[in-house]
Amino acid sequence: MHKYLLSLALLAVYAKANAQALVPAVDVQHYTFNITLNDQDDVIKGQADLQLSLCRDVNSVTFDLDGKAANGKGMQVLAVTEGGKKLNFTHTDDKLIIKTAAKSGTNHTYHVTYSGIPADGLIISKNKYGDRTFFGDNWLHRAQKWLPCVDDVADKAGVDFIVNAPAHYSVVANGLKISEKQSGDIKTTHWHEDVPVSTKVMVIGVADFAISTPEFINQVPVNAYTFKQDKSNGFKAYACAPEILNFYNQQIGPYAYKKLANVQSKTVFGGMENASNIFYYENSVDDRAIEALVAHEVAHQWFGDAATESDVAHVWLSEGFATYFTHYYHEHKYGIDSLKKRMMVDRTGIFAFEKERMTPVVDQTKEKADITLLNNNSYQKASWVLYMLRHKLGDEKFMKGIRTYYSTYKNGNAGTENFRDVMEKASGQNLEQFFKQWLYTAGHPKLRISYETDKTNHGIHLHIEQLQKYVYQLSVDLKVGSTRFTADMRDKTLDLNIAAPTEAGELVADPDVRLLAEYEIVKEKTK
């Protein structure tokens, strides 16, 4: 009896300690990064004010910041203070640990002085014209390569960037520019973003930019920053952004930020949805498909930036949404046939990807590297899930749910089940099975459809079999001549008799491109 009680007591202590460990100690409210750049070398000098609230009692506060490596790259912390008082700290294993005891619910501002050569995160290089450039490139956990921070998508904060750089450069960053001053050969530019954003989308861009005159959409200035040599093509390429921004404003809800800059850059990705400050690859100004790229990155301002996934496993709430709403924009502008063609192309890519890697859209395998989650699942398949959900619910209920999801989680974080809950309430439908089979299950349906006609009445007899192991619940549209009908499958096989009158002709499965499935159609001999 005493042993049992002791075990319970130990379990209670363990549970309490474990629960406390799961609660983040730090909730950052605002960052101010004062960065000094130069043209002589790649060393940056930084001063960071980290304004935060504590969520539990602590003996130390930890931030992410890569230390100096053997190759000489990385950051070195020179001092940490609070209110002018020096604090003890350690900087090892890419963690800055400030040794200070503080109580839950208290607010603090730590001032960190540091310097170094960024190994990543801030890309210092030359563009295609040989001109020196500096571009932030933080996705997903690369802000810590050059900024002391809590490098987690779920910890969103406002941010100021104060950039000191040679005067020939122009600087763009998140939010609005509130000042620019020149002293000798150095220009100091101050950008301020008071809307909370994740570190993954906090960046600066520093280059010899040509800057277009802004066009205003609902009082939000929209303009382009391009390399001076690409001014003509660049301004023209990014000119589609105001129309796209206006469309999403009307369809989804108000844009979260106070400006939209479209920036030609030199970074890792083809496009990066930095909040209010989108970066595009340097040859994007000559890309014939630039409108689709702009539509994708602007859609991210709603999904991924304002409404942010709570964890990398739910990255489809960012990438899948941006992919689908790019198609949705094209449908609006170019018609339903454009949408169908885009969905067919994506479907082919999904099937090819699954031959190489069979994982669900919501991939919670912890050992997966962040970058490997950017694939046909999180982009194209996730987009298909939204497309099928739209047809399942109908346009009105689907868009009602999308608008509610955005307004509910704007400037916050959400997971897959949060989205499901919103869509169930908007539609009045139970979506558990839909989400389970399309988001949490790897693969897709493979249907073998055999059919025959009766010489007497020309009725159609069908046998449909799901060839894959997992049994989906689905509806597949079928067409023979002008006769259309829907087969609702709840089991592995389904037999259907379609009574006359029907027209003779070949069977077409999914004529309107609405189901993510492969089809094998076999016409049996007529009886």
CATH number at residue 30: 2.60.40.1730
Tokens 């608008």 correspond to: 403
For the chain, give the percent of residues with pLDDT over 90: 86
pLDDT at 224 over 70: yes
Q: What is the mean pLDDT of residues 80-98?
A: 97
Strands 157-166 and 186-197: antiparallel
pLDDT at 13 over 60: no
Domain assignment present for 15: no
Give all strands of the β-sheet with 88-92 in edge-to-edge order: 61-64, 95-99, 88-92
Question: Residue ranges of the alpha helices (H) in 210-359?
Answer: 231-237, 241-251, 290-302, 316-334, 336-356
The verdict on 431 and 458 lying in the same domain is no
Q: Which of 64-78, 255-269, 320-334, 481-495 has the lowest mean pLDDT?
A: 481-495
Average pLDDT of the chain? 92
pLDDT at 20 over 80: no
Domain assignment present for 195: yes
**pLDDT of amino acid 461:** 85
219 DSSP assignment = T
Is residue 422 within 8 Å of residue 401, measured between CB atoms?
yes
Say which residues have a Cβ less than 8 Å from residue 176's Cβ, sequence separation at least 6. 191, 192, 193, 258, 259
| Prior bond of 360 cis (ω within 30°) | no
Of the candidates 262, 310, 321, 311, the one whose C-alpha atom is nearest the C-alpha of residue 287 is: 262
Is residue 148 within 8 Å of residue 65, measured between CB atoms?
yes
The verdict on 75 and 181 lying in the same domain is yes
pLDDT at 334 over 80: yes
**pLDDT of amino acid 483:** 82
pLDDT at 108 over 90: yes
Q: What is the mean pLDDT of residues 333-340?
A: 97
Domain boundary among the residues 155, 181, 204 is at 204
Handedness of CA 386, 392, 393, 395 (dihedral sign): positive
Distance separating alpha carbons of residues 468 and 155, to the nearest angstrom: 41
Domain boundary among the residues 419, 439, 459 is at 439
For the chain, give the percent of residues with pLDDT over 70: 92
What torsion, rounded to 10 degrees, do the Cα atoms 319, 323, 328, 332 define? 120
The verdict on 46 and 195 lying in the same domain is yes
Domain assignment present for 80: yes
CATH of the domain at 464: 2.60.40.1910
Q: Which of 188-202, 297-311, 352-366 has the lowest mean pLDDT?
A: 352-366
Domain assignment present for 491: yes
Tokens 């939010």 correspond to: 175
Count of H-run helices and E-run strands, the chain: 10, 30
pLDDT at 456 over 80: no
Q: pLDDT band for position 482 (50/70/90)?
A: confident
Distance separating alpha carbons of residues 407 and 517, to the nearest angstrom: 33
Is residue 518 within 8 Å of residue 445, measured between CB atoms?
yes
**pLDDT of amino acid 507:** 87
Which 3 state secondary structure label does DSSP give 375? coil
Q: pLDDT band for position 500 (50/70/90)?
A: low
The verdict on 177 and 30 lying in the same domain is yes
Domain boundary among the residues 422, 439, 456 is at 439
**pLDDT of amino acid 24:** 81
pLDDT digits (tens, 9 = 90+) for 387-431: 999 999 999 999 999 999 999 999 999 999 999 999 999 999 999
**pLDDT of amino acid 125:** 97
The verdict on 338 and 422 lying in the same domain is yes
Q: Determine the angle formed by the axes of helices 316-334 and 416-427, rounding to 10 degrees.
A: 50
Domain assignment present for 393: yes
Domain assignment present for 481: yes
Q: What is the maximum span of the chain, computed from C-alpha positions, in angstroms? A: 95
The verdict on 59 and 199 lying in the same domain is yes
**pLDDT of amino acid 23:** 61
Using CB atoms within 10 A of its CB, is residue 83 exposed (0-12), middle (13-18) or buried (19+)? exposed
CATH of the domain at 364: 1.10.390.10
Q: pLDDT band for position 452 (50/70/90)?
A: confident
Other CB atoms within 10 A of residue 314 CB: 27
Q: Which range marks the domain in which residue 466 is found?
A: 446-523
Q: pLDDT band for position 17 (50/70/90)?
A: very low
The verdict on 29 and 154 lying in the same domain is yes
Q: What is the mean pLDDT of residues 278-294?
A: 97
3-state secondary structure 5-27: HHHHHHHHHHHHHHHHHHCCCEE
pLDDT at 22 over 60: no
The verdict on 182 and 34 lying in the same domain is yes
The verdict on 371 and 460 lying in the same domain is no
**pLDDT of amino acid 497:** 85
Domain assignment present for 356: yes
pLDDT at 129 over 70: yes
The verdict on 332 and 404 lying in the same domain is yes
The verdict on 377 and 317 lying in the same domain is yes
Q: What is the mean pLDDT of residues 107-132?
A: 98
Residue 478: what residue type? L
Domain assignment present for 226: no
The total number of structural domains that make up the chain: 3
461 or 34, which is more confident: 34
**pLDDT of amino acid 460:** 81
The verdict on 77 and 112 lying in the same domain is yes
Q: What is the mean pLDDT of residues 97-115?
A: 97
**pLDDT of amino acid 370:** 72
